[in-house]
Structure 1
Amino acid sequence: MYLRPAAAAAALLATLAGCASLTESTEQSVLVQTVLDHREIAGVGCVLYNDVGKWFVTTPGRVTLRKSAGPLRIDCAREEKGWAYEKVDSKVNANLWGNLALTAGVGYFVDKNTGAGYDYPSTLTVVMHAAQDKEDGPPPPAGVTLF
């Protein structure tokens, strides 16, 4: 008779242990650095943004951002030096897969919506374009076709 409550408690703990939204933070600290012609450039202002927020950092520097299942866009510029526009996709972390198995998929949707089941690379190296290339401008947004 006492075995059932203990087994139920163990199953509940195992289920909760797999939920990334309970065990992982929805925030992540990343290091942003900028490079031009294979050399690091300091003092570049960068805006990082995804579907849940926007953050500013001067490189090289760390910024704490909110994780998301969506991509992280990085827009950097420094007068007389250059510009950059990049996109970094988030990657599924191990907790999300465990959550999928242990909660029959329910926790997966929670972790996807909170971003807790995803990570961006911990170091973001942004490749700058020289200032004289400014006339060309940054690449068009995703989904825009040029002819």
Structure 2
Amino acid sequence: MKTLFAALVVLACTGCASVVNETTHPIKVETKSATGEMVVGAECRLTNDYGTTTMKSGETAQVRRSSKDLDIVCKDPKNPEANARAISRANGGMWGNIILGGGIGAIVDHNRGTAYTYPTWMQLVFGKTLVFDRTVEKEGQPTLATEVVTPAPAAAASAPQVVSSK
């Protein structure tokens, strides 16, 4: 009886996502030119708080799960840089912990990163900065992106200021 109780305590402390999910998951990164043509073989760096994974566009790489977002930079000699951010979202394992009352498991899974998932298929565009959120991910399709647009400085901000003197 003591052995069964000890086994149940250990299982409860591991966390649901830790049991269901690995610490890494596959991410496919593709790159496109500004005209929409696929560019295969660009050098891509995927970075989060656990480190950096390098890969070639068109391939799939194992990326360490984390509660922090994933920054992606792809370079190709014929194109301007492609930049993206993949938003980290809690996965079903985290919600399982919360619903089933596994407070300790939720903390363990949060700290290990196993409670989080990034979008699994992203298409970056050279010359653009994109944001990918797996909440809009559809099975068998690349995740839709939102483009980050840097506003042009206001004309008033660039005009010289006039100071009156008395």
Residue of 38, 58, 61 corresponding to 1:60: 58
Residue of 24, 27, 38 corresponding to 2:24: 27
- CA displacement 1:45-76 (0-9 Å, x = unmatched): 11000000101111111111111010000011
Q: How much does 1:24 deviate?
A: 1.2
Structure 2 match to 1:135: none
Structure 2 counterpart SS, 1:129: coil
| Structure 1: 5+ residue stretches without partners | 131-138, 140-146
> What fraction of aligned residue pairs are identical, expressed as a percent?
29
| Structure 2: 5+ residue stretches without partners | 129-147, 149-156, 158-166
Q: Given the two structures, how large is their TM-score scaled by the length of structure 1?
A: 0.74
2-structure distance, mates of 1:15, 1:41: 46
Q: How much does 1:82 deviate?
A: 2.2
Instruction: Tell me if structure 2 keeps the 8 A contact 1:100–1:106.
Output: no
Residue of 125, 128, 131 corresponding to 2:126: 128
| Structure with more relative contact order (C-alpha pairs < 8 Å, separation 6 or more) | 1
Structure 1 match to 2:85: 87
Q: Given the two structures, how large is their TM-score scaled by the length of structure 2?
A: 0.66
- CA displacement 1:11-43 (0-9 Å, x = unmatched): 769847961112210111111100122221112
What does 1:92-103 align with in structure 2 at a 5 Å threshold? Answer: 92-103=90-101
Of the two, which has the highest radius of gyration?
A: 2
Structure 1 match to 2:116: 118
How many residues align structurally? 128
- The answer on 1:106 being equivalent to 2:114 is no
Instruction: Tell me if structure 1 keeps the 8 A contact 2:14–2:105.
Output: no
